[in-house]
Amino acid sequence: MTTSDIPSPVGKIIRAHADSLPAVDFTQPAGEAALAAPDSVSWQVFKNPVSLFIGGTAAVLLELAEPRVRSGVWDHTTFRTDPLPRMARTGLAAMVTVYGAKSTAQAMIAGVGRMHARVGGVTPAGQVYQAADQELLDWVQATASFGFLQAYHAFVRPLSLTDRDRFYAEAAPAARLYGALGAPTCEAALEQQFQAMAPKLERSQIVFDFLDILRRTPAAPGPLRPLQALLIRAGVEILPPWTRDLLGLGARYGLAPWERPLVAMAGAAADRLVLKSAPPAQACTRLGLPAAYLYRRH
């Protein structure tokens, strides 16, 4: 199946996602393995641009609930003033981490680590923070893994507990390179981390500012803005109920019952789509596999 086989608006948003990524050749070096294997759960989950958008939204909402992470993101990135390049860089980092050749991923992650080492400050409440603090790195890793996995599980296809645990375990090598030495390696460990962090999380106006920015930013072409808003609300929908209560994200921020099937239709369509120019297919080519390898496994 190609992008032309997917009806608007799903096909357009997927093509827009692929075209927005900065240039990285995932076909090189030929034969070099990635940090995760082609038969991993991770390679299945990260191939879906619809669930990645949803999961990324959920992850950022959880990150912004932690005051030190929130200050780091809000005070030391261009998200408020120039969100699209920042979103593209974040998306590229995820693709390189999962699909890039190991040497490419290691070099990129080392660069991120050097950047984190220079970021620090004081929250409005007077908490001193450094972006390279392990607790904060663990939280960012945990929220990202949760968001991407839960979005796929909820809106693409259900995953067994075994596969969900595999997903967290597969992220461990990259997490260690990022410095997230205490990142969860199974779903039970994730729940423990959520419980441990709960007393440190708080409501903030910045969460609502983030949602407003995301709604206004043309991450998808103009005609797809209604779908973009739907995917943002899907990101809120997959948050744990207690975090939604904590952040003040009531029912109007999530999905109406009739909207869930629409999101699921988009997620399912994206999961059958082979984009030969996108990182998943290019990574398969690098390893001598058919470009459609990931799409023939189910």
- Specify if 294 maps to a domain: no
- Specify if 86 maps to a domain: yes
Distance CA 247, CA 78 (A): 23
- Specify if 290 maps to a domain: no
pTM of the predicted structure, to 2 decimals: 0.90
- Specify if 233 maps to a domain: yes
- Specify if 13 maps to a domain: yes
Above pLDDT 90, what percent of the chain?
73
Going residue by residue through the chain, which has 298 residues, state the pLDDT in tens, using 9 for 90 and above. 433 333 334 444 444 444 444 578 999 999 999 999 999 999 999 999 899 999 999 999 999 999 999 999 888 877 777 777 777 788 889 999 999 999 999 999 999 999 889 989 999 999 999 999 999 999 999 999 999 999 999 999 999 999 999 999 999 999 999 999 999 999 999 999 999 999 999 999 999 999 999 888 877 555 456 789 999 999 999 999 999 999 999 999 999 999 999 999 999 988 998 888 899 999 999 999 999 999 875 5
Tell me the residue range of the domain where 170 lies.
3-285
Structural domains of the chain, count: 1
- Specify if 298 maps to a domain: no
Q: Dump pLDDT digits (tens) for 178-205.
A: 999 999 999 999 999 999 999 999 999 9
- Specify if 291 maps to a domain: no
- Specify if 115 maps to a domain: yes
